[in-house]
Structure 1
Amino acid sequence: MTIGVALNATGPENQIDASVRLAKEAALAGLRSAWFGQTFGADSPQLAAIVGREVPQLHVGTSAIPVFGRHPLPVAGQALTAQAATHGRYHLGLALGTKLLTETGFGLPFERPIARLREFLTAIRQLTETGAADFHGELLTATTPIPARVPGADAGVPLLVAAMGPQALRATGELADGTLPYLAGPRALGEHIVPAVTAAARAAGRPAPRIVALVHGVVTDDVDAVRKKVTEQLAFYEQIPSYARVIELSGGQRAGDVSVIGDEETVAAEVRRYRDAGATEVVFAGTEVAGDADRLRTWRLLGELADRPTG
């Protein structure tokens, strides 16, 4: 099972320089991939391209770019550029986004999100696989009167979706290569997410999907204080219906309840639970919450787990 980390350079240092430095530390610890979230700040495909070129030991990915406020043509260009820069080690994560950020930030109505996701995936698959598109949907049009190829980019950038609800999982299984659930504990993963996306992929005649579980967690001795801090930091997600639902399906009430916080033995056991629930890859986020010492301690453990047999 592949194990990676989500990098979030939030200090006063130049974010690009800090991300490269953190990625080098992650690679030295034995981690296999580095992922970058998309907010209103740094452009995650550019960040992934730079880091992936500077740290060739790592696969890199975005988790995840909302489909509202974007168009498949420029996103495909970003993805193909990152794929060429990293010589085939880039993974594109997409998301529905949220009503709050879509309507407040972009001034766009958050309407028909599943239909938009389906059209976006269909168009961007054409673009990333062939460098051309001729797609005319209800919500999106993507055509290429001139070529949209990026020489050096491998055909077929892996497409993943941060899907957790039934309709989004169905679309993901049918049209993407896998899913990127966040704050979904092993119970929600094994009982709801994995069966739904796998069944949809099978019905569509597609290969078994990748299940890249994004886990918020850290190795620390100060469990109570860190969990309190994490619960406060993640409270925003509890306002979002899809996250609230998956937290409940995981057996939690607060977002902090599904975070993995404890000593090495505790965290290793939880990683095994994710694997047993169907995760093909585990990516730890929020490892910086308890400071550099615990972050490096967490990365060392995850690097060791990445080297162990999965059987």
Structure 2
Amino acid sequence: MSGDLKLGLNVGYWQRNADDATEVVLTAERLGYESVWTAEAYGSDAFTPLAWYGARTSRIKLGTSVAQISARAPVTTAMTAMTLDHLTGGRLLLGIGASGPQVVEGWYGTPFPRPLARTREYVDIMRKVWRREEPVTSDGPHYPLPYPGGANLGKPLKLITHPLRPEIPIYLGAEGPKNVALAAEITDGWLPLFVFPEKLGAMYGDSLAGAGPGFDIAAMVLVSVTDDIRSALDGVKMMLTLYIGGMGAKSRNFHADIVGRMGFADAAEKIQELYLAGRRDEAFAAIPDELADGISLVGPPARIRERLQPWRDSPVTNLLVMGPRDEPTLRTIRDLVLG
């Protein structure tokens, strides 16, 4: 039980067009939001917009939620993180994630199997890079250093630049219980995408048992301050329709799996079936209102204030708001969460 919640803003990744969120980031910093987070899928990358916002701000922490590990070698992510951390005065929060097999194998052209082992190896190499205790080597099967073969001229190297911080905070985007347990074991925080706060402890209590002091559970949550609750819930359901129905294969969809673990397995199966059959309106209609309401904060301020209590009573320590871009709404959310 966290009680007090930290507050951040997640601006996500670009959709069809470029989306410079500088003004909303500046507004969030001015209003006292602790952090802003960017994302990537197979469009805009996570680091470039974050550097752009970092150059225009002075206090707000800068997080990736998440940078996909298959997009970059671990030393490349370590160098990028070190560089950005220096340029922003130590404000980086490095969120990484394995993504899913359709993106990893279809976009990056790399194998997806053994994501937990790959993540463990990836994190270990990045920390070796930042600590600069010795030339970096790794005998793991996924990212061996030096490379065993090729020209047979590879040699262990040490990062040229001294990091501003030898321990940049690492967060892990995770949905499955084993992946969440890995986050608790080897990283500084967990970035869950869908959280039903009343169910979180039962779903992940055992997985989080290994978390150390200060472990940050930074939950992404769609927020809509409005009197039109029906319309707001429909907005959440549109997002869920895509993620449950189409963000993954029928045989392997991590988003559908997590919805199933929340107690909506039958609905998730039906939504997938309808969506993949091209019946998207019916898939949308199959999303239970209880699910949409449970993972979001929607309605007038009084309703959101009431709905915040389960979040305060849950293991969540940090709310990363998604959706609002205007100053009055961001101020209202700040007052409700931090007031």
Using the alignment, how far apart are the partners of 2:329 and 2:258 within structure 1?
25
CA gap of 1:70–1:13, structure 2 versus 1, over 3 A, is: closer
Work out which of the residue numbers 31, 34, 40 in structure 2 matches 1:32: 34
SS in 1 for 2:258: helix
1:129: Cα distance to partner?
A: 3.4
SS in 2 for 1:109: coil
What does residue 125 of structure 2 align with?
123
CA deviation string 1:207-247 (max 9, x = no partner)? 35211111122212222123223322332221443222323
Structure 2 residue runs without a partner (length 5+)? 147-154, 268-286
Choose 156-165 or 21-30, whichever is displaced more: 21-30
What does residue 84 of structure 1 align with?
86
Work out which of the residue numbers 40, 59, 62 in structure 1 matches 2:61: 59
Using the alignment, how far apart are the partners of 2:297 and 2:38 within structure 1?
20
Work out which of the residue numbers 224, 239, 260 in structure 2 matches 1:248: 260
What does residue 272 of structure 2 align with?
none
Q: Which amino acid aligns with 2:331?
A: R
1:178 and 2:209 matched: no
Using the alignment, how far apart are the partners of 1:7 and 1:174 within structure 2?
28
Is contact 2:232–2:299 with CA below 8 Å preserved after alignment?
A: no
1:9: Cα distance to partner?
A: 7.3
SS in 1 for 2:107: helix
Is contact 1:34–1:60 with CA below 8 Å preserved after alignment?
A: yes
Using the alignment, how far apart are the partners of 2:69 and 2:13 within structure 1?
24
What percent of counterpart residues are identical? 24
Using the alignment, how far apart are the partners of 1:101 and 1:168 within structure 2?
18
CA deviation string 1:38-64 (max 9, x = no partner)? 122333123223312311131110001
- Report which of the two structures shows the higher radius of gyration computed on alpha carbons: 2
TM-score (structure 2 length as normaliser): 0.78
Q: How does 1:148-227 map to 2 (within 5 A)?
A: 148-151=159-162, 153-193=164-204, 195-201=205-211, 206-227=212-233
Cα RMSD between the aligned structures?
2.5
SS in 1 for 2:206: helix
What does residue 141 of structure 1 align with?
144
Work out which of the residue numbers 2, 18, 21 in structure 2 matches 1:19: 21
Work out which of the residue numbers 281, 304, 307 in structure 1 matches 2:335: 304
SS in 2 for 1:94: strand
TM-score (structure 1 length as normaliser): 0.85
SS in 2 for 1:198: helix
Choose 26-35 or 242-251, whichever is displaced more: 242-251
Aligned length: 295
Using the alignment, how far apart are the partners of 2:188 and 2:317 within structure 1?
12
1:163: Cα distance to partner?
A: 1.4
CA deviation string 1:171-212 (max 9, x = no partner)? 11221111000112103422223x2343123xxxx4352111
SS in 1 for 2:138: strand
SS in 2 for 1:215: strand
Structure 1 residue runs without a partner (length 5+)? 289-294
Using the alignment, how far apart are the partners of 2:18 and 2:258 within structure 1?
35
Using the alignment, how far apart are the partners of 1:69 and 1:157 within structure 2?
19
